Amino acid sequence: MTTTRFHAPERLDEAIRLLAADDEARPLAGGQTLVAMLNADLLSPSQIISLHRIAALKGIEKRSDGSVRIGAMTTHAGLARSDVLRDGHRLLAQAAGRIGHEAIRNRGTIGGAVAHGDPSADYPPALVALDAVIEAVGPKGKREIPASDFFQGFLTTALGQGEIVAAIILPPSLNQARTHYEKFARVEGDFATVSVAVALWRGGVRIALGGVGPVPVRSAEAEAELQAGQLSDAAINDAGALLVAASDPLDDVRGSADYRRRLIPRLVKRAIRAAQAKDAR
C-alpha cells in the first residue's frame, strides 16, 4: 500500500492551504465514494485531508432572507430528517432520503456527493431544479457558483485546484414552489436509471433530469410549453418529448439509452402530478 499522510485540520483555511500546496492531496468527507475508490486502487493520494473537524462546514441554517445554507459536511441522513427544509425546499430532503441505504446516508455528505459530480446521483438534478448555489472556497477566496454551471460533465465540476465545496445555498424564492423528486431505480438504494426533479410556482416551472446525460438535463422549451399550457396533459406530453430530445442518455447496467428515453415522459408526468398534489402556497 502506498504511504498516505493524514490530516484532520480544524480550520478551513488550513485545509485549503494543504490542498492547494499538493495536487496529489485529496479531501475526505464521508468516504462513501473516496474510500471505495481507494479500496479498488483507482487512486493513490499522497495525503488525505479529512474535513470532519471543520466547524465552518457543518450545520443547516435558515438565514434572515429565507435562504437556507447547508454546510458541506451535512450527511444525507441529516438532510433527509432536517426540519429546516420546508415547503419547496423539501425536494432536497426527499432526494437525500433516496440515496443508497441508511448506512451510506449516515456517513455520506452533500459536499462529497456534489464534488464528485456523478450525473446519476440524486443531488445534481435536485439542486438544479431548486436553482441552488454552490459556495466554493479555495486559495483565492470564496465564490458562489449556480448549480446549473457547477456540473460540467461526467464527474467534472467547476471546482479548481485546492478548491472545496463549503456549502450549498437554497434561494428563498423556490421555497414557495410545489416540488417533487421522482427517482426510478432498479432496486431500492441503487443509483437512478432516470430521476426527475420538478419545481412549480405561479411564475414558472423548472425541471431537471438525472441519469440521462453527462450533467442534469433541462429544456427551456419544455418549461415554456408547460407554463403556457398550464400543465395540461397535452402540454406535459409535449414537454416530455422536448426533454427526451434534450437528453443524451447512455446504455449501461441501469438501462439502455432507449429505455431511458421511454422512461422520461412517464416520470416527468408522474413528478408534475405529484408536485401538484402538494399543498399550494
Ligand X SMILES: Cc1cc2nc3c(=O)[nH]c(=O)nc-3n(C[C@H](O)[C@H](O)[C@H](O)COP(=O)(O)OP(=O)(O)OC[C@H]3O[C@@H](n4cnc5c(N)ncnc54)[C@H](O)[C@@H]3O)c2cc1C
Q: Determine if 43 is a binding residue for other proteins (CB under 8 A).
A: no
**Piece of 38-46, 58-66, 154-162, 223-231 that binds other proteins (CB under 8 A):** 38-46
Using DSSP, state whether 137 is helix, strand or coil: strand
The binder of 113, among ligand X, other proteins, none, by C-beta within 5 to 8 A per type, is ligand X
**Piece of 44-52, 138-146, 175-183, 219-227 that binds other proteins (CB under 8 A):** 44-52
Minimum CB separation of residue 190 from ligand X in Å reads 6
The binder of 39, among ligand X, other proteins, none, by C-beta within 5 to 8 A per type, is other proteins
For residues 164-200, b (16+ Cβ closer than 10 Å) or e, as one string?
Answer: bbbbbbbbbebbebbbbbbbbbeeeeebbbbbbbbbb
Contacts of residue 227, defined as CB under 8 A and 6 or more positions apart, other chains included, come to 204, 205
DSSP 75: B
Q: How far is CA 131 from CA 38, 145, 174, in A?
A: 33, 11, 8
Minimum CB separation of residue 74 from other proteins in Å reads 15
Residue ranges binding ligand X (CB under 6 A): 26-34, 36, 51, 72, 99-100, 104, 108-109, 111-113, 115-116, 121-122, 159, 164-165, 190-191
16 CA to centre of own chain: 23
Candidates 14, 17, 18, 31; binder of other proteins (CB under 8 A) is 31
Q: Determine if 78 is a binding residue for other proteins (CB under 8 A).
A: no
Q: How far is CA 243 from CA 21, 102, 111, 212, 239, in A?
A: 43, 32, 28, 10, 6
Q: Determine if 266 is a binding residue for other proteins (CB under 8 A).
A: no
Q: 229 is written with which cell numbers?
A: 399550457
Minimum CB separation of residue 163 from ligand X in Å reads 7
Full DSSP string of 49-61: EE-TT-GGG--EE
Give the residue with the Cβ less far from other proteins, 5 or 140.
5
Distance in angstroms (rounded) separating the CA atoms of residues 172 and 62: 10
Q: Determine if 176 is a binding residue for other proteins (CB under 8 A).
A: no
As a whole number of Å, the end-to-end CA separation of the chain is 56
Select from 33, 34, 81 the least CA-distant residue to 60: 81
Minimum CB separation of residue 1 from other proteins in Å reads 6
The binder of 50, among other proteins, ligand X, none, by C-beta within 5 to 8 A per type, is other proteins
Q: Determine if 230 is a binding residue for other proteins (CB under 8 A).
A: no
* Residue ranges binding other proteins (CB under 8 A): 1, 3-6, 8, 28, 31-32, 35-36, 38-40, 48, 50, 52, 77, 100-104, 106-107, 187-189
